[in-house]
Amino acid sequence: MLQYPDAKAVVRALEPDEPVTLLRPHAASRAARFFTQKFPGKAMYAVKANPSPDLIRILWDAGVTHYDVASIAEVRMVRDTLPEATLCFMHPVKTKRAVREAYFEHGVKTYSLDTLDELAKIVEATTDESGKAASDLNLLVRLRVSSEHSELSLAAKFGVDLVDAAPLLQATRQHCDALGICFHVGSQAMTPFAYVQALERVRAAIVEAAVTVDIIDVGGGFPSIYPDLDPPALEDYFQLIHQHFEALPISYSAELWAEPGRALCAEYSSIIVKVEKRRGDELYINDGAYGALFDAAHVAWRFPVAALEDDLRNPLAEFSFYGPTCDDADFMKGPFMLPEDIQAGDYIEIGMLGAYGAAMKTSFNGFGASEAVQVADEPMHSLYRGDRPDPRSSDNVVSLR
Ligand SMILES: *Cc1c(COP(=O)(O)O)cnc(C)c1O
């Protein structure tokens, strides 16, 4: 892969007509080392945030041994990429065939579930031809928790309600080697108290069910950093999670797990886009809602931007973007702050796209091709560089919308 010092060098060398993805392996590696060294338990990577095999190898080399996968295609891809990794199939609704292949062909022992039907499905799919049930399963019951502190909710679709959790935990206990409880507080959780609240619900479920619990999995939701979304230090999350985990009524050897997606890969990539047309404060660029900017369009996420021309003058002004497809929905409201005299032909870097950027790209309308190159400079923001001002001392603006 071609390597450049930074985005401006890429523009000078390539003058690209298509978007270019800029990869920063050093940033992903640094995030992974932070989690493997500081999270007080096991941090597995949630593959859906960015399923690039290159990234997965970078995380493995930095010490991430466990991977949260959600589909049989993810199981196969991670197994092909990392033959020795431990895979955990954490989608609470799977097909029987997927579980059977995962268990018997790829050695996957860990599954999540949120209904008795799913439990029966997993038990049946992991029973061998002689009728012998699996004795080595780790089964995690997904508990529904609040997403009120997160920018993207994951509270509606999955998770058993607390009132129904006890019979499911008791039934699951009968079929597993290790019993766990997992949850997801929603993506980009802007305060560690989201996890504290969820762990209180876990406590209530354990007390009610009176079962021995071996694994507590606090899921994903660990934040990255974006305009207007400057979270507290991740150490604060880890410390509060550890403290509340330790206080749970669980077996003394119980394990703490987490499933960070965004926090491990957001800093891994950015893109260079070209302005094709300007209409007032709207810039028509060559990537958008059906490309790497899905979240910018569909949930009005504000990614950081920087103009890559040297001859533009400040001050900055507010712009919105149209993507390249012939669809009104290919619109990103922003506002994105760029020099007020930016015009057609100029290039922009859009940062912090390693999570849920590349992963969402389509080729709708013939767009979506992009070259990837490696750059050596820093991502536009970092949670891991150690030079952030203490966000607790500033106003912590929590809401986007
Ligand atoms: C999406 C997802 C994650 C990762 O969430 P982030 O907010 O990116 O950290 C982890 N676990 C499960 C089950 C998920 O669906």
- Per residue in 13-31, pLDDT tens? 999 999 999 999 999 999 9
Q: Span 285-299, mean pLDDT? A: 93
In the chain, the largest separation of any two C-alpha atoms, in whole Å, equals 75
Look at the domain 40-259 and name its fold: TIM Barrel (3.20.20)
Residue 318: pLDDT over 60:
yes
pLDDT, residue 398, reads 40
Residue 391: pLDDT over 60:
no
State in Å, rounded, how far the first CA of the chain is from the last one.
38
Residue 273: pLDDT over 60:
yes
pLDDT, residue 287, reads 95
Using CA atoms of 120, 122, 126, 127 in order, give the dihedral in degrees to the nearest 10: 0
Least confident of 1-5, 155-159, 198-202: 155-159
* Residue to substitute in 44, 45, 154, 217 for testing ligand 1 pocket (most ligand atoms within 8 angstroms of CB): 154
Cα within 13 Å of Cα(362), Cβ side: 10
* Residue to substitute in 184, 229, 264, 268 for testing ligand 1 pocket (most ligand atoms within 8 angstroms of CB): 184
In whole numbers, what is the pLDDT of the chain averaged over residues? 94
Q: 169 — phi, psi (to 5°)?
A: -65, -45
Q: Please report, rounded to a whole number, the percentage of residues in the chain having pLDDT higher than 90.
A: 87
> How far, in Å, CA of 275 to CA of 11, rounded?
13
> How far, in Å, CA of 214 to CA of 268, rounded?
33
CATH (residue range 3-22+268-375):
2.40.37.10
Q: Is 182 a catalytic site residue?
A: no
Q: Span 367-389, mean pLDDT? A: 89
The ligand 1 atom at the shortest distance from the C-alpha of residue 48 is 1
Assess contact for 374 and 353: CB atoms under 8 A: no
Q: Span 129-158, mean pLDDT? A: 92
Alpha-carbon distances, residue 256 vs 41, 43, 102, 253, 285 (angstroms): 5, 9, 23, 10, 44
Which pLDDT band holds residue 393 (cuts at 50, 70, 90)? Answer: very low
pLDDT tens for 217-253 read 999 999 999 999 999 999 999 999 999 999 999 989 9
Ligand 1 centroid–CA 322 distance in Å is 28
Using CA atoms of 310, 323, 398, 67 in order, give the dihedral in degrees to the nearest 10: -100
Q: 110 — phi, psi (to 5°)?
A: -115, 125
Pocket, ligand 1, Cβ cutoff 6 A: 46, 48-49, 68, 90, 184, 187, 219-222, 259-263, 355
Where exactly are the structural domains of the chain? 3-22+268-375, 40-259
The ligand 1 atom at the shortest distance from the C-alpha of residue 150 is 7
What is the CB neighbour count within 10 angstroms for residue 1? 9
Residue 208: pLDDT over 90:
yes
pLDDT, residue 390, reads 58
Ligand 1 centroid–CA 279 distance in Å is 38
